[in-house]
Amino acid sequence: MTQVTIREAVMSDIPQLKTLMLAYIVDFYQYRQPEDEKLNALIHELLEQNIGIQFVAETEEGALVGFATLYFTFSTLRAAKIAVMNDLFVVEAERGQGAAAKLFAACKGYAARHDYAKLTWETAPDNLRAQAFYDKIGGDRGHWLTYSVIPTSGMGD
């Protein structure tokens, strides 16, 4: 079993972090590869910790094998700030060995230490492995449906 340490991402992580993020976006979710400049800009925004934060799982040898991303927002219903865990990813070879649980714990602990009213996340309906993990760690399945739309200009602008 590989031992991993969880810590906040730093500038020197960018090359490995980009590789992990691309594996998550392109290989795992089968989504199109983002433009390099946009991915770089996002990583830098997260490193500044104004809109969110990233945690990385690092082996004793210095290899990054996973990451989690929190974004900061607010809940009108709670009249309080909340954290949204948008990503939790561990490379296939390291899954089932505790890295995901440690990354989740880092996110939960960060939210608690910084007085966030709630930590929330979502996963794909067909991602049964993730659902089993979230059930195991005590996550509450929500009853809200998620919608999205691609913004366009038009009437009312």
Which letter does DSSP use for residue 116 in this model?
-
> What is the Cα–Cα distance from 7 to 68, expressed in whole angstroms?
10
DSSP strand pairing (4-8 vs 80-90): unpaired
CA 131 to CA 137: how far, in whole Å? Answer: 10
59: pLDDT strictly greater than 70:
yes
How many other C-beta atoms are found inside a 10 Å radius of the C-beta of residue 149? Answer: 5
Quickly tell me which residue has 């433009």 as its tokens: 35
pLDDT in tens, 82-136: 999 999 999 999 999 999 999 999 999 999 999 999 999 988 888 888 888 888 8
**pTM for the model:** 0.89
Give the per-residue pLDDT at 156: 63
Give CA separation, 116 vs 58, 71, 80, in Å: 26, 11, 7
Kindly indicate the confidence band of residue 43, based on its pLDDT and cuts at 50, 70 and 90: very high
Distance CA 42, CA 40 (A): 5
Cα separation, 120 vs 142, in Å, equals: 9
